């Protein structure tokens, strides 16, 4: 029994690459196909971060507030700043949280979709859904459509945030898998940064009543690039 136990332990150790072997680059190499696929899949994280960051800036743009039927934002700061009407606060809360609500609803089904339809097809479908949600937000003419668009985008991200790391892990070389999977998290944080920069650009440079549509429409461009590349 002891001999069998040692043999099993040794067999388990044999299938684990040593640290030195990994640093020597043994095993599969990162091909052009794998590099492109991983980069495109990691855009799913960029979409997640962008949609998180972009809405905060849009809520303060005068053109956005006019389209939603809200009063212009006040230039005052500090305790003397007049409070937002309660109805506006509620609508802002729904617009912001609808995205996360969509993630919450869709994420439990990500595993089933991934096993049933495959990682690639699930990622592609999630990208298409995100494009639809982004288009709804960009073309919104009121609070209701904006909330619906945010929820649809959230449904997409609820799936992509689970399946994208799996897809990256499957197409990555074994010795680089851990490093490449972290690209999704990097994409999330970078997407938030990009969203802030885009909002700053449209506010300072564009300065039009439709400037917020540029901010929200940019996510459709990212989703389109990801979908065509996939």
**To the nearest whole percent, how much of the chain has pLDDT over 70?**
85
What does the pLDDT look like over 200-210, one tens digit per residue? 999 888 878 88
Question: Band of the pLDDT at 38, cuts 50, 70, 90?
Answer: confident
Q: Angle between the 119-138 and 143-171 helix axes, to the nearest 10 degrees?
A: 160
Burial class (CB in 10 A: 0-12, 13-18, 19+), 228: exposed
Buried b (16+ CB within 10 A) or exposed e, 174-194: ebbeeebbebbeebbebbbeb
3-state secondary structure of 16: coil
pLDDT of 20 over the 50 cut: no
154 neighbors 174 (Cβ within 8 angstroms): no
Higher pLDDT pick, 77 / 41: 41
- Per DSSP, 140 falls in state -
**To the nearest whole percent, how much of the chain has pLDDT over 90?**
59
pTM value surpassing 0.85? no
Count of other CB atoms within 10 angstroms of residue 145: 13
DSSP letter string, 25-91:
T-S----HHHHHHHHHHHHHHHHHHHHHHHHHHHTT-HHHHHHHTPPPPP---STTSPPPPHHHHHH
What does the pLDDT look like over 97-134, one tens digit per residue? 999 999 999 999 999 999 999 999 999 999 999 999 99
């Amino acid at each position: 029994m002891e001999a069998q136990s040692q043999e099993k332990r040794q067999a388990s150790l044999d299938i684990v690459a040593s640290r030195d072997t990994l640093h020597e680059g043994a095993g599969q190499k990162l091909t052009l196909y794998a590099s492109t696929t991983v980069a495109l899949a990691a855009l799913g994280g960029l979409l997640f971060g962008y949609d998180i960051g972009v809405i905060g800036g849009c809520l303060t743009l005068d053109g956005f507030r006019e389209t939603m039927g809200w009063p212009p934002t006040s230039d005052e700061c500090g305790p003397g700043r007049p409070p937002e009407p309660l109805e506006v606060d509620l609508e802002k809360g729904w617009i912001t949280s609808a995205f996360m609500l969509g993630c919450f609803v869709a994420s439990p089904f990500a595993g089933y979709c991934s096993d049933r339809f495959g990682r690639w097809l699930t990622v592609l479908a999630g990208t298409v859904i995100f494009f639809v949600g982004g288009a709804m937000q960009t073309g919104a003419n009121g609070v209701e459509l904006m909330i619906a668009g945010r929820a649809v985008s959230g449904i997409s991200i609820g799936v992509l945030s689970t399946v994208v790391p799996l897809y990256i892990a499957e197409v990555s070389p074994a010795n680089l898998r851990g490093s490449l999977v972290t690209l999704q998290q990097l994409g999330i944080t970078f997407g938030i940064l990009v969203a802030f920069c885009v909002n700053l650009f449209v506010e300072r440079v564009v300065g039009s009543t439709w400037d917020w549509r540029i901010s929200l429409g940019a996510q459709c461009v990212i989703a389109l690039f990801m979908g065509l590349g996939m």
